[in-house]
Copies of this chain bind each other. A is one copy, B any other.
């Protein structure tokens, strides 16, 4: 990859004729597109009949684009196997939890664990990597497309066999599985691995361990499939490889990126959902430390398909989305898609050009975005994002645990979005980190909504605290073991002792009139809660009313140079949010967090720093209402060159500013 900001688009040359492609390239140059992504659904173009693989079409188009200054991210075409693979072979297809076998005609209809599919995938990828892997235009690779975006666990016979192998590898003997899962319950007791069912229909719920482990198994296998793709590609290409992931997909995101080279994600927010965008930027920036991430797909105006669509963006939003991405760590910003689909189920999806080759309603926003990209590129390339000092853990295991145990129809994703939004409202800058991420440089670590915390995670968090960090645990964290069972030593396992509490009661407090008091605020408590008695910790939050009035829901305990803060319950409503913001602010202050900014709601600040230590603030209005930020001291408008006084700085609707402060490492 070159040292520049990429402005890209998904492109499907296999769908168009040569004349149209000429027109496309002309338009791309006009719009400032310097990279395309292609090939992810083109297996049938590459291998229309079994064993008749021909990649010359794609090699030619890559060359042609390159001659026109447009580089390529090449995809493996595995989400859409050709009809010769699927026709008359139901045993190769994906089967859902209801036992329904998928048909050819859409995407992800094959079982990615079937040996024939695996072997044919390997063959076409190998041919592809050979054919284009060293082409100068190819600057990167993408595996497949949105692994597990439409489907979750497969229940076919192949998977059943692999599931039994996986269990054997994990537990060794059936006795150990029986013990771990407690299968004496309801006479589930297994005599051999081959008896263990996939979690298919029962009159009531399956054992939590079985459900959770089947999800883990499925996540392991899709990562394994990707790893096999990587091995093939790397034999023929040095270009870095990514996958266009999204946090809603049914995979283990940390594991999926373990062997990839750079991070990317697909983001389709509507204009009201800018906070989810920011959260994604704060996550994906940290997936591959030091390597910029990509927004691999986003819509120019709206997404859509035959059965529904999103409301069309307001003008200006797209540019704010892109500038925020670049400022918060992206190198690439790429549209889905270039030219509106002429056929198929995504005809209503927004694009850069219409199917008949004219600018769409999003086109002028693409142009503005290209202008912005050019304007900020020098600043972005000469700086890098300032690391936040506050980290929130994104836990892939938590996502699985909440799927198995959703209690009040909770989803991990929406819980985390709400939590992130609350934190963002404090003005504190923040990183979202995977469970095994390095905590160096962070001062506050938050672990909300993690039913299961691995020993390794606990160890790392403890070390973080001992060296001075403040670790805020909960709500809903720690109550389950690795096997998705209840701890036997204490309510939250080792965490009880570590945090200096005894978990007295775990139960649902929603709607029971239980009120929590802390930091001068009072708020109703909610969700499945752990209420404590302090055993070495200091009581910070007390409980009034409800079923357990003499307890505490919030404690802190000094450990080493830092502190562990236990939050056992979720303060709810506007008062609860105020209480939580006070909590965050208090511990951020105590931890000495200084990377923060004061901005009006809907306006984001991205701090960056240059090699010489100069601090920059990119200020972007994300809500279209315009807003302001308080500059802590005077600076210079880094785009206009004019001095800017300390204090209130206005920013117009969907506009952005870049302010350079005098170099100093002590203030942000």
Contact = CB atoms under 8 A, between A and B. Distances in A.
A34 interface: no
A105 B489 contact: no
B103 A197 contact: yes
A547 B301 contact: yes
A221 interface: no
B508 A311 contact: yes
Interface in A240-259: none
A509 B344 contact: no
Q: How large is the interface on A (under 10, 10 to 19, 20 to 34, 35 or more residues)?
A: 35 or more
Interface string A502-535: 0011111111110000000000000010010000
Interface string A33-48: 0000000011111001
Interface stretch (A275-283, A350-358, A604-612): A350-358
A25 to B, nearest CB: 18
Given A306-B404, A344-B186, A312 B508 contact: yes
Interface in A130-163: 150-151
A109 B203 contact: yes
Most buried by B among A83, A109, A186, A304: A186
Given A44-B184, A355-B488, A302 B340 contact: no
Decide if the interface of chain A is mainly helix, strand, loop or mixed. Answer: loop
Interface string A527-559: 010010000000000000011100000000000
B508 A343 contact: no
Interface string A3-42: 0000000001011000000000000000000000000011
Interface stretch (A93-101, A418-426, A561-569): A93-101
A343 B207 contact: yes
Contact of A486 (B77, B87, B347, B528): B347
Contacts of A106: 186, 202-206
Interface string A477-503: 000000101111111000000000000
B48 A189 contact: yes
Which of A202, A343, A485 has the largest number of chain B CB atoms within 10 A?
A: A343
Interface in A186-241: 186-191, 195, 197-211
A105 B182 CA distance: 12
A407 B547 contact: no
Which of A106, A491, A531 neighbours the largest number of chain B CB atoms within 10 Å of its CB? A106
Q: How many monomers of this protein are in the complex?
A: 3
A585 interface: no
Interface centre among A83, A102, A187, A197 (most CB of B within 10 A): A187
Interface in A70-94: 77, 80-84, 87, 94
A577 interface: no
A185 interface: yes
A614 interface: no
Contact of A187 (B44, B100, B360, B490): B44
Centre residue among A184, A209, A310, A531 by max chain B CB count within 10 A: A184
Given A197-B105, A312-B509, A491-B354, A82 B187 contact: yes
B343 A202 contact: no
A187 B41 contact: yes
Contacts of A354: 486, 491, 505-506
A104 to B, nearest CB: 6
Q: Which of A199, A200, A354, A548 has the most CB of B within 10 A?
A: A354
Contact of A485 (B102, B343, B489, B546): B343
Nearest to A180: B343
Interface in A283-309: 301-302, 304-309
A307 B343 contact: no
Given A347-B486, A348-B508, 4 more contacts: A44-B187, A83-B190, A307-B409, A312-B509
User: Which are the 10 A-B pairs with shortest beta-carbon distances?
Assistant: A182-B343, A44-B187, A106-B202, A150-B203, A205-B345, A80-B187, A361-B505, A44-B189, A355-B486, A185-B344
